[in-house]
């Protein structure tokens, strides 16, 4: 279930690419606290920011979201 895992997979994709929250914060010109909130699903980036994150990480935007298809 997506809710038990959170809404986004930013933390997972960063780990897969061996990137840090600090690196992503620098790429997006955002604070590390903001990135941390997104990675722990305490807050969510806007759709526009999610697209920007996908571009920086060279992934499809849908790869940053948990699928609800199986629910």
Q: Tell me the CATH number at 20.
A: 1.10.260.40
- Measure the CA–CA gap between 14 and 34, rounded to whole angstroms: 15
Query: Phi-psi category of 6—alpha, beta or left, where left has phi over 0 and alpha has psi -120 to 50?
Result: left
Domain containing residue 35: 2-64
71 in a structural domain: no
pLDDT tens, the chain, 71 aa long: 445 468 899 999 999 999 999 999 999 999 999 999 999 999 999 999 999 999 999 999 999 998 777 65
The DSSP call for residue 41 is T
53 in a structural domain: yes
Q: How many domains does the chain have?
A: 1
pTM of the model: 0.86
The answer to whether 62 touches 9, Cβ cutoff 8 Å, is: no
- Measure the CA–CA gap between 20 and 10, rounded to whole angstroms: 11
């Amino acid at each position: 279930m997506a809710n038990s895992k959170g809404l986004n997979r930013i933390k997972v994709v960063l780990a897969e690419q061996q990137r840090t929250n600090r690196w992503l914060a620098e790429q997006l010109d955002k604070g590390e606290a903001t990135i941390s909130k997104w990675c722990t699903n305490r807050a969510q980036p806007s759709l526009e920011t999610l697209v920007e994150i996908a571009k920086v990480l060279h992934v499809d935007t849908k790869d940053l979201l948990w699928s609800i298809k199986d629910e």
